[in-house]
Amino acid sequence: MAKIPAVDLSPFFREGYEDEKRKIVDIISKACCEYGFFQIVNHDVPLDLTSQALKVSKSFFESPTEAKLKCSPLPNVPVPAGYNKKPNPSYEFSEFLIMLPPGSDFNIFPDNPPQFREVMEELFSQFMKIGMVVERILSECLGLPPCVLEEFNNDRSWDFLIALFYLPATEKERIGSNPHKDVSCFTIVLQNEVAGLEVQKDGEWVLIAPQPDALVVNIGDVLQVLTNDKFKSPRHRVVRPNGRSRNSFAFFHNLSGDKWIQPLPQFTKEIAEPPKYRPFLYKEYLQKRRESKSKHITRIEDEITISHYAIPEA
């Protein structure tokens, strides 16, 4: 069975170690081209924090429905921060809580567990830090100066974190999250010990088995557009486990909403390749995706994706 590589990021937190860094860049580059996924260990996110975050989120999701509904999103807000649940009928099932950057007026946190807010805000901050490290590594993988991607994310207020919870599979339903691609530049995933995350490769589903102390990274739609399909946003899903619940976190490292997204000249004009996508405003794409999701569609083909902006081949 194919295995998603796990790389040790510790050299990137030290001076020197250039040979080790180049090897890591090569491994990640290959993984991004083959799977759009890789795992990272020694990532500098405190392990006691990730363990506590998984513990308190599980405690929240296992609390009575009435308590969870008190954290429902505020009305008429641009992002439904707070507790959400996929309705029936739906083509997927999960409960989740959306969090925006610490200090956002839209965030809604439960009173219990009492440490929930403190833990989540610290986790968010740590994910933002490691996100910037991963962004610099991906820039190197693509042969880009670090400043190129940095110019798109001078405003980190568009990042968001989702705590996810999946009940055990039933005889009739085992899908927690149907096949989809992420709207982000890239996504960082923290999963508990219960397997379920899968990526599609050559028509087959490859399990991304939980690895102790590891974070999972996957390429998102925005990076696919910027690289003109050099790196592709992978289709992935979550399969609900038998007999056990699964909880995880997904951190969406986004770009600033007011940025225009289009294939970079390094992957088009400079190598005589035509652009595969027309320019679009990032917040426009986010809005279209949210509207698509809010309709509670029952067919995956009805979702808005970056193909909406694809330029037809001549």
Tell me the pLDDT tens digit for each residue of 82-130. 999 875 544 456 899 999 999 999 999 999 999 999 999 999 999 999 9
pTM: 0.94
- How many angstroms separate the CA atoms of 141 and 210, rounded? 25
Give the 3-state secondary structure of 165-197. Answer: EECCCCCCCCEEEEEECCCCCEEEEEECCCCCE
Tell me the pLDDT tens digit for each residue of 154-188. 778 899 999 999 988 877 777 778 888 999 999 99
Say which residue, 303 or 252, is predicted with more confidence: 252
pLDDT of residue 90: 47
- How many angstroms separate the CA atoms of 110 and 10, rounded? 35
Nearest to 252 by CA among 171, 314, 162, 174: 162
pLDDT of residue 86: 72
6-309 homologous superfamily: B-lactam Antibiotic, Isopenicillin N Synthase; Chain (2.60.120.330)
Strands 280-281 and 204-207: unpaired
pLDDT of residue 89: 43
Helices 18-34 & 116-141 angle (0-180, nearest 10): 90
Whole-number average pLDDT of the chain: 91
Section 242-255 average pLDDT? 94
Q: Sign of torsion, CA 111 117 118 119?
A: positive
Is pLDDT above 70 for 241? yes
Say which residue, 197 or 92, is predicted with more confidence: 197
pLDDT of residue 230: 96
Q: What Rg value do the Cα atoms of the chain yield, rounded?
A: 19
Q: Contact 206/234 with Cβ under 8 angstroms?
A: no
Size of the chain, expressed as the number of residues it contains: 314
Number of C-beta neighbours around residue 170 at 10 A: 10
- What is the chain written as a DSSP string? -----EEE-GGGGSS--HHHHHHHHHHHHHHHHHTSEEEEES-SS-HHHHHHHHHHHHHHHTS-HHHHHTTPPPTT-SS--EEEE--SS-SS--EEEEE-STT-TT----SSSTTHHHHHHHHHHHHHHHHHHHHHHHHHHTT--HHHHHTT-S-GGG-EEEEEEEPPP-SS--EEEEEE--SSSEEEEEE-SS--EEEEETTEEEE----TT-EEEEE-HHHHHHTTTSS----EEEEPPSSS-EEEEEEEE---TT-EE---GGGTGGGT---SB--EEHHHHHHHHHHHHHTT-S-GGGS--GGGGBPPP-
Domain regions of the chain by residue span: 6-309
